[in-house]
Amino acid sequence: MNSGQIMTAQLENGGTIDFVLDANAPRGGMKHTFFTPDKKYAVQFFNNPQDGQNPNIQDRIRTIVGIYNPTLSEQDGGALGNTEKTAEYFRSRFCWPVAIVQSPEFGIVCPTYPQRFFFGDNASTHGLNLKGKDKKSNWFTGRMRKYISSGELGDFRTMLSAAICLSRSIRRMHQAGLAHSDLSCNNVLIDPQTGSTVVIDIDSLVVPGKYPPEVCGTRGYIAPEVLTTMELDPRDPRRCLPCVSTDLHALPVLIYEYLFLRHPLAGPKIYSPDSAEEDDFLAMGPKATFIEDPNDTSNRPQDLKITIQSLSKGLEKLFLRAFVDGLHNPSERPTAMEWERELLKAWDRLRRCENPHCEKKWFILRDEREPVCPYCKTRVTDKIITLTLKSAMRGKQGVYRDCGEVVVYDQMPLYDWHVYSNVHNDEKAGNDMRAYICKHNGMWLLVNHGIEGMTSPTGRLVPKGQAVELKDGAVFRMTDRENGLLCEVSAI
């Protein structure tokens, strides 16, 4: 192979794309990767050319690039119901193949990941050369963390944001009936500075009605039932293969790692004193035990200070369902949509720690009556202002139901989903700020930044640029327009 030589690939869609031959092309388990001269796209071929000729693999990949593609609008041949707006949203969150190479051999073309998912200069303070390496999450959640520059590490809030980003991407995939099959720290890149994630290695997706890919997963993320039955013949009905419910094990493992910087099953328990291999198999497979299992403390580290009880009550419950009820019982595992919802609720309870030296900087306010940062134990001294958002019940005048709670902080932005009951914080919502919270001369204000029809507690109109004071017991309308939310203030 002549490194540096430019080759032209013929695409199935009739086009062509140039790529640069490289004798040291990066090689994964299944494929190797070349890049286009401008490095905007990766052109990937199978390590074993027979895989590329396998009609089942080709067929599966064609549907991934086409009708199951959430990064392409339905109009352009992508997923059903996908608009250009939602397609664009997911383009930055998946590294989804965009075309199929016909010759010189079967392969795929993927966009390269955005620059923020590669380490730049000065990423390590300990002389580790990380430049150009991709940001796999275990750099940030594992033992290597101490070698990474503090500027790269983000804080609790950005890690929570990454967890939301990932659960949303997985929810979108599962909604289409797709399973990733190999979700792991290697296949989800994370940028803790911006709190964003990108899901890669999409070509190993499990597609409904197609032959499953021949991947079994990555150590630490394989669902216990898959690991336990891995030695059985794939046609044996007892064999568990990667599917949506196995993704629903890997997803909370990643979320737990992002939020706690440790693995939920890696504790002190010794499962097999004689064989490290057997010990590992039991610990992640048939005998796996959550390190925070409330009933079985055999795998609990002695010095466990920060636990799932430091999160919101809703997230605590989900982790118990994922790693206690559902660890060996896949149907009990929370769905990606449940994770997304609970993480968003927790996001609305974030509070900045008053200790300027707090390592985590932000925490989830679990209980207004016990407002203490779980990381540095600093107690909140400032007022705690909670907005309860309510929507009118259709057809029942004066009857409202709660549809969200927000614990505010100074300079907090508010969006359409804080104003209208029919907008949710998801890929369909716009991200224009509609109002913001501001602490001014000891007064807490909600400033109208672009809402028509906001009314004050006394019923007068609050024009853009003006504010409502957030006093305990105040009730006002975010807007008097259709689907407008009512806001109840509590200040303690």
Q: Which residues bind Zn ion (CB under 5 A)?
A: 353, 355, 358, 373, 375-376, 378
By beta-carbon proximity to Zn ion, the closer residue of 214 and 354 is 354
Give the nearest distance from C-beta 300 to Zn ion in angstroms: 24
Q: Which residues pair with 408 in a beta bridge?
A: none
By beta-carbon proximity to Zn ion, the closer residue of 302 and 381 is 381
Enumerate residues 6+ apart whose C-beta is below 8 A from 76: 84, 87
By beta-carbon proximity to Zn ion, the closer residue of 323 and 375 is 375
Give the nearest distance from C-beta 213 to Zn ion in angstroms: 44
By beta-carbon proximity to Zn ion, the closer residue of 85 and 379 is 379
By beta-carbon proximity to Zn ion, the closer residue of 138 and 355 is 355
Q: Which long-range contacts (CB under 8 A, 24 or more apart) does 369-376 make?
A: 374/306, 374/310, 375/156, 375/306, 375/310
Give the nearest distance from C-beta 386 to Zn ion in angstroms: 20
Compute the distance between CA of residue 341 and CA of residue 345 in angstroms, rounded to an integer.
6
Amino acid present at 76:
D
Give the nearest distance from C-beta 312 to Zn ion in angstroms: 17
By beta-carbon proximity to Zn ion, the closer residue of 271 and 375 is 375
Give the nearest distance from C-beta 359 to Zn ion in angstroms: 7
By beta-carbon proximity to Zn ion, the closer residue of 367 and 482 is 367
Compute the distance between CA of residue 257 and CA of residue 143 in angstroms, rounded to an integer.
12
Give the nearest distance from C-beta 372 to Zn ion in angstroms: 9
By beta-carbon proximity to Zn ion, the closer residue of 300 and 361 is 361
Q: Which long-range contacts (CB under 8 A, 24 or more apart) does 461-470 make?
A: 467/438, 469/443, 469/444, 469/445, 470/385, 470/387, 470/408, 470/437, 470/444, 470/445, 470/446
Task: Please name the residue that has the structure tokens 């250009």.
Answer: 84
Give the nearest distance from C-beta 377 to Zn ion in angstroms: 7
Please say whether the beta carbons of 202 and 183 come within 8 A. Answer: no
Compute the distance between CA of residue 330 and CA of residue 334 in angstroms, rounded to an integer.
9
Compute the distance between CA of residue 450 and CA of residue 90 in angstroms, rounded to an integer.
27
Give the nearest distance from C-beta 361 to Zn ion in angstroms: 7
Of 438, 359, 416, the C-alpha closest to 157 is 359
